[in-house]
Amino acid sequence: MLGYIPLGIAFGVLCVQMGHPWWIAVLMSVAIYSGASQFLLLTLLAAQASLTEIGVAIFLLSCRHLFYGLSLLGRFAGAGARKLYLIYALTDETYSLLSSVPEARDPAVAARISVLNQGWWLLGTASGAAIGDLVRFDSTGMEFALTALFIVLTLELMCKVRRAAPFVIGLLCSAGAMLLLPPEHLLVAAIGGACLVLLWDYQRNRDKEVMRS
Amino acid sequence: MSPEGIFAGIAVAALASLASRALPFVALSRHRDQPLLEHLGRYLPAAIMTILVVYSLRDLRLFAHTDHGAILVWNNNGLPLLLSSLVVVLLHLIKRNVLLSILGGTAFHMLLVQYIVPGLAFPVETTATGDQYPRALEAAAPAIPEPPLALEPVHDLYATALLLEKPPEGVTDCRLLGPKAKAGASSGGFSSATRRAAPPVPSGYFSARPRLRLFM
């Protein structure tokens, strides 16, 4: 997946421009290995967020991985020692490849795809950090890359989900949190609220189905 | 931020990221077909992504908190964010290329923030401490007015004395001038009466100069 290279470069450049040494960018790409989470971590670090907030925000952002794992449970069952690496390297891109390429049913092929993907990501991050270190330029406004990434992912989800409710719930919850709470608690409160509303939505739908049957 | 803080942040983020990937294999393998999980798996990512968009656009500062609750306001600092977001949406709807949308939108935003907006004479609210535009804010912020040049030294002494509650070092003979100043209230005689009697400090002097400079 060559898309990893430019995004990795963007992350590397941004990380270095925010004042971190180049190896912090590479360390993040090895330890965290998740594009959106790494961008968000940069923002949170710049905003001096507490460790609890970082943990909760990153976990909630990565919640989507829970459902990737669920759908691949059976697939990884016979993978043996490779299973650990496959779980660790299960990113959005890797998941979309694993679930769309039929040959990836073989754990050996899946592991090779994962290694390749992480290789691209690391290469992109390292070269981005190098570029950012060598070429000093005004990077004001570059943090918008994260916003753009979120907007694009939301649009992609809109095409997939085809139901307005979850997006409206997200919008209302975040607007409510923005109105009622100071900005530093916005993220966690809004996501918590959205979870509760979705649970209520599930309960209501199930009750309706029970009534019908 | 301290290096320890950054390492701790990375460690926590790595654990959170790993937990989200490993949890289904560790704990949820038996609940795979649970309808609730299916429901959440279908809709939760959409809600979270929408919240993240709002979160990353929070510098629009559409709401201002006042004594009467929050009100909707227009903030000029948010204009580049709004325009660049529109560019991302349009690019993505037309080309449907993730990379092009992100890079195009970011380049447009950098262009706006670095070249176009500083050129426009927007009234910048100095109260807005936007963490996204420190440089743009700084460029557009009005210069701090210099104190009047012909300032009597006694004013500086007065200000220092107010902060220190005693005469500054090296000052042996310091007399505060004023109609009520008692004769003989020299070195160390900073009673409230004499303090009030000091000549008035020019208006705007304290608010215009950073406090630390008083010691220089």
Task: Average the pLDDT over each of A151-160, B32-41, B42-51, B80-89 and give the range with the smallest value.
Answer: B32-41
Q: Touching check for A129 and chain B: CB below 8 Å?
A: no
CB contact under 8 A, B37 and A70: yes
Tens of pLDDT, residues A14-44: 899 888 999 999 999 999 998 889 988 998 8
Q: Touching check for A164 and chain B: CB below 8 Å?
A: no
CB contact under 8 A, A73 and B47: no
Domain range list for chain B: 1-30, 33-142, 153-215
Residue with more model confidence, A103 or A190: A190
Distance from CA of B118 to the nearest CA of A (A): 12
**pLDDT exceeds 50 at position B188:** no
CA atoms lying within 13 Å on the CB side of residue B76: 13
Q: Give the best-scoring range by mean pLDDT among A86-95, A184-193, B25-34.
A: A86-95
pTM: 0.67
Here the tokens at position A200 are 């209520």
CB contact under 8 A, B25 and A47: no
Of the residues A154, A159, A179, the best mutation for testing chain B's interface (the one with the most B CB atoms within 10 Å of its CB) is A154
Total domains, chain A: 2
Supply the range of the domain harboring residue A202.
Answer: 163-213
Say what the ipTM of the complex is.
0.82
Same domain, A99 and A64: yes
Same domain, A82 and A172: no
CB contact under 8 A, B18 and A88: yes
Same domain, A35 and A52: yes
Fill in the amino acid letter for B165: E
Mean pLDDT of chain A: 86
Residue with more model confidence, B167 or B55: B55
Name which of A118, A38, A107, A88 is nearest B22 in CA terms.
A88
Same domain, A69 and A171: no
Same domain, A49 and A123: yes
Q: Beta-strand (E) ranges in chain B?
A: 63-66, 69-72
Same domain, A56 and A156: yes
Q: How far separated are the first and last CA of chain A, in Å rounded?
A: 47
Instruction: Give the per-residue pLDDT at A82.
Output: 85
3-state DSSP assignment of residue A131: helix
Same domain, A118 and A195: no
Same domain, A178 and A206: yes
pLDDT bin (cut points 50, 70, 90) of residue B181 is very low
Distance between CA A106 and CA A117 in Å, rounded?
A: 17
Name which of A210, A166, A205 is nearest A63 in CA terms.
A166
Same domain, A9 and A109: yes
If you ran DSSP here, which 8-state letter would residue B167 be given? P
Which residues 6+ apart lie within 8 Å of A153 measured at CB?
Answer: A36, B49
For residues B187 and B173, the answer to whether their CB atoms sit within 8 Å is yes
Instruction: Give the per-residue pLDDT at B182.
Output: 46
Same domain, A33 and A49: yes
